[in-house]
Amino acid sequence: MTTVHIVGAGIAGLALASQLPARWDVHLHEAAWQEPTVPTLFALQAGGRRALERLGLLEEFRRRCVTVTGGMLADGQGRPLVRMSGVEITLLPRPELRDLLRSVLPHSVQVHRHSVHSVTGLHADLVVGADGVHSTVRRDFWGPASAARRLGATVIRGVIDADPVEGRFQEVWRPDGIFGITPRPGGGVNWFSTVPAQRFDSRAHALRHLRERWEGHAEDPQRVLAHATEAQTLVNDVWVSRWPRRLVRSVPLRGAERHAVLLGDAAHAMAPNLGRGANEALIDAVALARFLREDGSLPRSLRRYETARMLSPQVMRVGSTLMHRLSATRRDRLRNALLSAVPARG
């Protein structure tokens, strides 16, 4: 029997565990299984929706999500730079997407509600690193030099129940960061902001900083922040992955090979500017599960996954970093002039 230990039960780990062969011995490790989460939104584009379709969840996802088909990019004073139409971005709260994925988790999967501090004690044919940007699996198999690096930004995000901006989807770009606003399913607003990397004493401190930062600038961020509360706000530094060179590693163990594979943020954590993190994690998981089901050889199926998923997410990772730098450039007048010349999409 093939034994698989999946470290991390976020989007990638849950999606993979739900698709592995029922005859396999599958273990899922997650310390924060019952931890409450602020219901900020995941954005899914076409690739992520196709992955959910493979999981049999697309219909329920569409029933719960909110779909955005147009929006605006504005400068720091709220003046339009680019208008978008004809796009389709679907948004769902993180806890709801997690619960959807848990709903199709087979009973045969053994869930271990603890932290994995080292993978040396996990005796398995395959160890899966689905444990995020600070992946223990990546550290233990790829070495400490593979650790993620700071991007130099802090992201503050949250939700409010009010809708003082009337459902508008927009990003406001200032020379040193952005403020994004999206609608929420059922009403209200999901918001996010990047600022130059800094430490805050508390969520209340972060909110005070944002309110002071946007005073005298674009009005919609001020309207949203007037309703923001500590309980519905999150503060995190932004970390991005280094190029892993390989998504698969194999080491000898007791006369046999022990394999490790990375997916999701463990493989390609990226800046939030393109909204592709959950999208790529779902695609990774569905692709890896398909190769593992189709191919009788574990090493060959892992090579197929690596070939399929090495390049595209890394391009997205680099692109998201470039977009972050563009959004936060001090040469904002030149940037704004160039963006204003871009025709509306649609």
Three-state SS string over the chain comes to CCEEEEECCCHHHHHHHCCCCCCCEEEEECCCCCCCCCCCEEEECHHHHHHHHHCCCHHHHHHHCEEEEEEEEEECCCCEEEEEEEEEEEEEEHHHHHHHHHHCCCCCCEEECCCCCCHHHCCCCEEEECCCCCCHHHHHHHCHHHCCEEEEEEEEEEEECCCCCCCCCEEEEECCEEEEEEECCCCCEEEEEEEECCCCCCHHHHHHHHHHHHCCCCHHHHHHHCCCCHHHEEEEEEEECCCCCCCEEEEEECCEEEEEEECCHHHHCCCHHHCCHHHHHHHHHHHHHHHHHHCCCHHHHHHHHHHHHCHHHHHHHHHHHHHHHHHCCCCHHHHHHHHHCCCCEC
Query: What's the pLDDT score for residue 342?
Result: 57
pLDDT along the chain (346 residues), means of 10: 95 98 95 91 95 97 94 90 85 96 97 93 93 96 95 96 93 91 96 96 97 95 98 97 94 73 97 92 98 92 97 94 82 72 55
Q: State pLDDT tens for residues 291-308.
A: 999 988 999 999 999 999
Query: What's the pLDDT score for residue 107?
Result: 95
What pTM was computed for the model? 0.93
Tell me the domains of the chain and their CATH numbers: 3-340 (3.50.50.60)
Query: What's the pLDDT score for residue 340?
Result: 67
Query: What's the pLDDT score for residue 343?
Result: 59
